[in-house]
């Protein structure tokens, strides 16, 4: 998901007392173009954690950018397809290739309400991890919207 600074976030940045130095470093990078994983990667050397970034969203300092959720999900799905294509071509990875974009799209559409679940999906490295997250996804979006994802996970 791609996030951008809010007015409240800009004010907190100017105030200097509301953000930790690590959060300030990460906050600067949220320009509405970089994805959450890109910011985490860029600030990895500083020890910035996803929990600290979740706090920025929960405080209202960051919000999803104007870019549509579908577009962000398509970018994520494309990157995941490239990675999984290189790793292997067994049945589990085939299911993963089908299920990951669906799970990312479903959780990405939840916005801030599903931020942590979306992070968990982005961190899922295999079909077993997605299977473990499926009950939470189903609870968040409803069984009707999860049918295609359930079929992809079953193979």
Query: Is the Cβ–Cβ distance between 100 and 66 less than 8 Å?
Result: no
Confidence (pLDDT) at 33? 86
Q: What are the pLDDT digits (tens) for 85-109?
A: 565 456 668 888 999 999 999 998 8
The residues, ordered by sequence, that sit 6+ positions from 145 with a Cβ below 8 Å of its Cβ are 106
- Measured CA angle at 97 (ends 92, 101), to 5 deg: 135
Confidence (pLDDT) at 35? 83
Token pair 């071509």 is at which residue? 89
Beta-ladder partners of 3: 64
Beta-ladder partners of 63: 4
Confidence (pLDDT) at 68? 40
Confidence of residue 52 (pLDDT cuts 50, 70, 90): confident
pTM over 0.85: no
Burial class (CB in 10 A: 0-12, 13-18, 19+), 4: middle
More confident of the two residues 91 and 145: 145
More confident of the two residues 107 and 73: 107
Confidence (pLDDT) at 144? 93
Confidence (pLDDT) at 72? 56
Q: Which of 13-22, 85-94, 106-115 is the least confident region?
A: 85-94
């Amino acid at each position: 998901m791609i996030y951008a600074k809010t007015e409240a976030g800009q004010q907190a940045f100017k105030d200097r007392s509301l953000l930790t130095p690590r959060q300030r470093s990460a906050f600067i990078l949220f320009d509405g173009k970089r994805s959450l994983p890109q910011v985490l990667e860029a600030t990895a050397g500083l020890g910035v954690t996803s929990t600290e970034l979740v706090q920025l969203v929960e405080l209202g300092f960051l919000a999803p950018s104007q870019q549509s959720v579908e577009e962000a999900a398509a970018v994520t799905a494309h990157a995941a397809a490239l990675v999984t294509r290189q790793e292997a071509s067994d049945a589990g990875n085939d299911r993963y290739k089908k299920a990951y974009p669906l799970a990312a799209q479903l959780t990405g559409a939840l916005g801030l309400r599903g931020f942590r679940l979306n992070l968990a999906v982005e961190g899922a490295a295999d079909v077993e991890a997605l299977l473990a997250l499926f009950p939470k996804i189903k609870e968040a979006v409803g069984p009707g919207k999860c049918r295609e994802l359930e079929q992809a996970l079953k193979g």
